[in-house]
Each structure stands twice: as C-alpha cells, then as structure tokens.
C-alpha cells in the first residue's frame, strides 16, 4: 500500500471525496435515527406485523437485559459501527437505533482465502443478545458461512448482519434461528451488498414464538447475482414476519427470491417483499416467489409481493400462492401404501426442500 505522501492529486481528491461522502451519510443516518419512532400501525412495513405487541416486547427484553460489556469484541471498531449505522432497515430504524446502543457483541470476518469447510458463527442467548455479524468476501474468493442463533425460553436475539461480496466472489450463507421453550423470539436485520459476485442466502426459523426478518439485498454492479431463500415449518403459535427488498442500483444484474412456508396449528406467516429496479438499471432480471402450504384451518398467511420498476429492458415477475396440500399428490403417496401421517410429512418436507435444494445448487 502507498503511504499518504506518495498518492497523486487525483487519488487524494478521491479519498477526500469518499470521506466527505461517508461523513454526509453518517450525518444523514444520525438524522434518520433521531427522527425514527417505534413502529406503529401506520407503519406500512409493519402491516400485519402487530408492532404494538411484538416490536415493543422485543425492545423491552433488550432494554431489560442491559449491555453485555464483557463480550464486546467489536466495540473499538468505528468502521464496523459506521457500517451498521448505514445499514437499511424495512420499517425498523428505531429498533436499529436500539441495536446500535448495544453495539459490540459479534464477529467480523474478512474472507480473503478460499475456504473448504463452512465458517461457523453461532450466538446463544440466555436472556437477550444483540449481536452484529460482518462478512466481507474478497474478489474471486469462494466461501461458505453458517450462522446459528439459539434462544433460550423467554429470551430473545436481535441481530444484524452485514454482508459484502466483491467482484467474482461466491458466498453461500445459511442462517438458522432456533428457540427453546414456548416464548423465544428473534429478529434479524440483514444487508447484502453485492459488487459483482454471487450470493446465496438461506434463512430458516424453528420453534420461535416470534421471528422477524428484514433482508435488504442490494446489487451495485452488472453481473451480480443474489439469490434469497427461506424454508420454514411453522407450528404451534409461531409468528413469522419476513420482509425483503431486492434493490437493483445498476442494470445487468440478477436477483431471485424463493420463500416457502409450511403452516400447521395456529401459525401465522407474513411475507412482504419488494423488487426495486432503480431508474437506469436496465437489463435487470429479478424474480420473487412466496409459496405457502396450509395444513391447518387455524393457520394464517399474509403475502405481499411487490414490484417497483423504474427502468427499461427488465425481466421481472413475482408470484404468490397459498393453498392446501395437493389432493392428487396425497392420493399418489397413499396409493403406494404410505400411511396418512407419513405422506403428509413427506409432501411437506418435499415442499420446503425445493428452496433448500435451490440454495445448495
């Protein structure tokens, strides 16, 4: 690396300009947080999300647990803190502000070499945990990451994850959140910035009373490919509230999303997705699909797949389908002698496997 004395005039200007941009952005985000209020029923990003119940409860648990000072490896790193300050949310700026107050727990990984085995990151909450994870993959590098969140009964995890993938890099991230007992809760805010690499991101939520996901996947350069998946089998009183944005800042990139749920008992799933193709981001390919298999008459699905297309030469589609198990499939399995319960299980897990399979490939 050049020492500051050796840089050219142009480089110095570029550096100064970048710094000015950053400080302006930080100022802006400070303003954003100062204006942010706790989500309420007029917050469209919390439509069907019952913010007065769930957002409030999350904030209460985080606040009650206090700040975990001992385990705060990220605390001294201003760059990471700034990254988190700049990350977008989907209707939860006020909650992100709360997260920033507790900033410090978490891990940062700069991946500069190909990895053969997945990198494991895991967090376990006994009462409340607010981890931040940073994953940066260098150009041309292939990597795989598994993030696991485990929540004890009555505890919660409120996590952020920032993923940056450089040109030609390939990253596969598998996120699994699991709860114990009857009242574990989890909220994940994720920002994926794709600068010309390939990213596959899979989330799954298990045994959580409440889970909310806000995933914003941004593509900045042509030839970026971002694929988002989720596969969940929701039982009991589980509430899953997923919000996604596929933002195409530049043209010539691809994004794809497949979120699938199997719902039993009293489970509720909300999916609100948006594909945003910015003006001038021509030749974009973007797809989005939400599929729900309903197994119980008390299950509820809210599906809000959205498109906002401001560019030309775009191939975009979205779909949403919610319905009961296919009678013909069931009959086919039964006709081969597979008992009712097993046949249901097979079809339900096969339904979810489609998303997992696509993530794996």
Partner 1 sequence: MDETTFQIDTRGAFSMPENHKFDAGYGLTEETIDYICDAKGEPDWLRQFRKEALRKFNEMPMPFHWAPEGIRNVDFENFRYYLSHGATPSRTWEEVPEDMKRTFERLGVPEQERAFLAGVDAQYDSETAYTNMREELQKQGVIFVNSTEGLKEYEHIFRPWFGKVIPVGDNKFSALNHAAFSGGSFIYVPKGVKLAQPLQAYFRINSESMGQFERTLIIADEGAELMYMEGCTAPQYDSATLHSGVVELVALKGARIQYVTVQNWSTNVYNLVIQRGLAMEDAEIRWIDCNLGSGLTMKYPAVVLQGRRARGEVVSISLAHSGQLQDTGARMIHAAPETTSNIVAKSISIGEGRASYRGEVKVLKGMKGCKNNTECDALLINPASRTDTYPAITVHGNASAVQHEASVSQVDEEMLFYLQQRGLTRAQAMSLAVNGFINDLVKEFPMEYSVELRRLIDLEMEDSIG
Partner 2 sequence: MSLVIKNLHARVKDGAPILNGINLEIPRGEVHAIMGPNGSGKSTLSKVLCGHPDYEVTAGSAELDGQDLFAMSVDERSRAGLFLAFQYPVEVPGVTNANFMRAALQARLPKGEELDAVSFYKELRSKMKQLGMDPKFTARAVNEGFSGGEKKRNDILQMMMLNPSYAILDETDSGLDVDALRIVSDGVNAMRAPFRSFLVITHYKRLLDYIHPDVVHVLYQGQIVRTAGFELVDHIEQHGFDFLKTSEE
DSSP-derived letter for residue 197 is S
Size of the site for partner 2 (CB under 8 A): 25
In the structure encoding, which two tokens stand for residue 319, read together?
A: 């779909």
| Residue 339 interacting with partner 2 (CB under 8 A) | yes
Site for partner 2 in 309-338 (CB under 8 A): 326-329, 331-338
- Quick one: three-class SS letters along 56-109? HHHHHHHHHHCCCCCCCCCCCCHHHHHHHHHCCCCCCHHHHHHHHHCECEEEEE
Of 250, 358, 251, residue with least CA distance to 313: 251
48 binding partner 1? (CB under 8 A): yes
- Please choose, out of 127-135, 145-153, 191-199, 298-306, the segment that lies near partner 1 by the rule CB under 8 A: 298-306
Residue 323 within binding range of partner 1, rule CB under 8 A: yes
Q: 264: helix, coil or strand?
A: coil
Q: Which member of 264, 353, 360, 361 binds partner 2 (CB under 8 A)?
A: 353
- Comparing CB distances to partner 2, the nearer of 243 and 260 is 260
Q: Report whether 269 contacts 232 (CB < 8 A).
A: yes
Which residues, other chains included, contact 165 with Cβ-Cβ below 8 Å and sequence gap of 6+? 136, 137, 171, 192, 193, 194, 195, 197, 198, 199
Among the listed residues 180, 282, 344, 358, the single contact to partner 1 using CB under 8 A: 282
The token pair at 90 is: 């989907």
Closer of 83 and 292 to partner 2 (Cβ): 292
Quick one: 47 or 358, whose CB is closer to partner 1? 47
> Is 329 among the residues that bind partner 1 (CB under 8 A)?
no
- Supply the minimum distance, in Å, between the C-beta of residue 69 and partner 1: 39
Q: Residue 259 has which token pair?
A: 């979120």
Answer with the entry of partner 2, partner 1, none that 82 interacts with (C-beta below 5 to 8 A by kind). none
- Minimum CB separation of residue 286 from partner 2 in Å reads 23
Q: Per the structure block, which two tokens stand in for 178?
A: 């699991």
| Segment holding 160, helix H or strand E | strand 156-165
Q: Whats the size of the chain, residue-wise?
A: 361
Is residue 342 at the binding interface for partner 2, with CB under 8 A as the rule? yes
- Of positions 279, 335, 336, 341, contacts partner 1 by CB under 8 A: 279
Identify the residue among 300, 345, 346, 354 touching partner 1 (CB under 8 A): 300
- Residue 238's closest CA among 181, 189, 304, 291? 181
Q: Which does 303 bind (CB under 5 to 8 A by kind): partner 1, partner 2, none?
A: partner 1
Report H helices in 230-312: none
Q: Which two tokens stand for residue 314?
A: 């775009």
The residue from 11, 17, 31, 44 that contacts partner 1 (CB under 8 A) is 44
Q: Phi/psi of residue 280, each to 5°?
A: 85, -10
- Residue 273 binding target from partner 1, partner 2, none, CB below 5 to 8 Å by type: none
Stretch in the footprint of partner 1 (CB under 8 A) among 64-72, 168-176, 289-297, 328-336: 289-297
Cβ 332 to partner 2, closest distance in Å? 4
Residue 85 to residue 276: CA distance in whole angstroms: 22
Binding site for partner 1 (CB under 8 A): 42-44, 47-48, 279-280, 282, 292, 294-325
Binding site for partner 2 (CB under 8 A): 326-329, 331-340, 342-343, 346-347, 349-354, 357
């Amino acid at each position: 690396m050049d020492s500051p004395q050796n840089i050219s005039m142009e480089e110095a200007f570029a550096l100064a300009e970048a710094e000015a941009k950053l400080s302006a952005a930080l100022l802006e985000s400070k303003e954003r947080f100062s204006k942010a209020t706790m989500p309420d029923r007029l917050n469209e990003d919390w439509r069907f999300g019952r913010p007065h119940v769930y957002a409030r409860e999350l904030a209460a648990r985080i606040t009650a647990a206090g700040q975990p000072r001992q385990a705060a490896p990220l605390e001294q790193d201003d760059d990471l803190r700034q990254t988190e300050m700049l990350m977008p949310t989907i209707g939860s700026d006020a909650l992100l502000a709360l997260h920033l107050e507790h900033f410090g727990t978490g891990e940062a990984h700069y991946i500069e070499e190909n990895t053969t085995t997945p990198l494991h990151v895991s967090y376990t909450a006994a009462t409340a945990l607010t981890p931040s994870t940073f994953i940066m993959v260098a150009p041309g590098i292939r990597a795989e990451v598994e993030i696991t969140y485990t929540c004890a009964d009555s505890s919660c995890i409120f996590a952020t994850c920032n993923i940056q993938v450089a040109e030609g890099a390939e990253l596969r991230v598998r996120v699994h959140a699991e709860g114990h007992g009857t009242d574990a809760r989890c909220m994940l805010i994720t920002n994926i910035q794709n600068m010309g690499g390939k990213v596959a991101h899979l989330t799954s939520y298990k045994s959580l009373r409440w889970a909310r996901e806000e995933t914003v996947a941004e593509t900045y350069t042509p030839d970026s490919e971002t694929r988002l998946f989720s596969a969940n089998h929701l039982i009991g009183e589980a509430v899953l509230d997923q919000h996604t944005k596929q933002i195409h800042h530049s043209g010539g990139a691809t994004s794809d999303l497949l979120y699938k749920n199997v719902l039993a008992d009293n489970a509720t799933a909300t999916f609100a997705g948006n594909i945003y193709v910015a003006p001038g981001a021509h030749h974009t390919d973007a797809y989005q699909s939400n599929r729900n298999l309903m197994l119980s008459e008390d299950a509820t699905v809210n599906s809000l797949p959205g498109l906002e297309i401001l560019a030309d030469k775009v191939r975009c589609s979205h779909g949403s389908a919610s319905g009961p198990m296919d009678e013909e499939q069931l009959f086919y399995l039964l006709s081969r002698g597979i008992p009712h319960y097993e046949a249901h299980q097979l079809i339900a897990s096969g339904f979810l496997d489609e998303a997992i399979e696509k993530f794996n490939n």
